[in-house]
Amino acid sequence: MDMQAELIAEANVTVAIVDATLSPVQQRNLERRWGCKVIDRTGLILDIFGERAATREGTLQVELAHLEYQKSRLVRSWTHLERQRGGFGFLGGPGETQIEADRRLIAERIVRLKKELEQVRRTRGLHRDARRRVPFPIVALVGYTNAGKSTLFNALTGAEVAARDQLFATLDPTMRGMRLPSGRRIILSDTVGFISELPHELVAAFRATLEEVAAADVILHVRDAAHPETAAQRTDVIGVLDDMVEEDTLDSTWPERTIEVLNKADLMGGVEQVPLRAGAVAVSAITGDGLDELKAAIDIRIAAGMEIVTYDIPPADGARLAWLYQHGEVVDRRDDESKVHVKVRLLPADRARFERDA
């Protein structure tokens, strides 16, 4: 018996967690050698996700990821799955092994889950389109798990989203409206926390939780400034966002609309003690320090992303004029007998929609 097995036996360990991805054979061999249940990194993350999912979409995503993971576990290393069922009538033959039957059932369930998820995503896409018709920019929070995104979300919006000192406390996108110092209203979106080396089963299954990031006008990259691995966590988050660009689910301009938010400044002696990159903001979501500066930075970033355009609108076309007031910021207006000359600041998407529908 090796040293690890001796330590496990002495401590009466019933479950051992390995911080790595194990093949089914490796998992089986470790369980035999150590005499206890073995869970690898992917299995642990899936279990945590299973406890955190709250909405219908989150539950479907968790089940899909679990099934994708289980499907990869169905190999002949599990001898109890090699029992054979009878042949098919006159065809005779060895019939279908238990492992083949299980694989088939899992595959059928995966197909059904993907259809259900597609319907949920289609519905959420309609909701997103509806939000786009509302004149509010979207600001999405992203960051490493447990960076304090939900606490910051609550501090900014006055909401009561679950904020706990635990991994993946938020799985499902959560949205609330808030008003910036300029008076501009925005929609703030909280998202799932990122981790390093995200298992490939989760990359596909939890794609929808990052769709709000792709649709955002401003991205807040929330970091735990007090964490000893904060630099590595920053690299991991940027890596995930860059992967989304490669997958064509996020445009390559995302860094230009991103504000780095160094949270938990209270653990470092205050916002003045936090070293900052250019354009970054230090805050404490717990004490509220730095939140005014963050709101001002969001205001500036949204304004920087808007375009100033001029339109001549017939006085009788009150609907189009009202649309500009609702969706943009009118900075100048001059009326004469034949035209209303309007200079307005618009988000690029709103400008395109206005000119397309003209």
Encode pLDDT of 198-254 as tens digits.
666 666 555 556 777 888 889 999 999 999 999 999 998 898 888 888 878 788 989
How do strand 218-224 and strand 138-143 relate by DSSP bridges?
Answer: parallel
Q: Which residue has the higher pLDDT, 74 or 310?
A: 310
The pLDDT tens digits of the residues spanning 276-295 come to 999 999 999 999 999 999 99
Mean pLDDT of the chain: 81
DSSP, collapsed to helix, strand or coil, labels residue 319 as: helix
The pLDDT tens digits of the residues spanning 152-188 come to 999 998 865 444 444 444 444 577 888 899 888 888 8
**pLDDT given at position 24:** 82
Number of helices (H), then strands (E), belonging to the chain: the values are 12, 11
Domains, the chain, with CATH or none:
3-86+93-112 (3.40.50.11060), 135-304 (3.40.50.300), 307-356 (no CATH)
Which stretch of 18-27, 42-51, 156-165, 312-321 has the lowest confidence by average pLDDT? 156-165
Other beta carbons less than 10 A from residue 268's beta carbon: 16
Output the CA–CA distances (angstroms, integers) from residue 146 to 48, 169, 206, 213, in the order listed.
13, 8, 18, 18
pTM more than 0.85: no
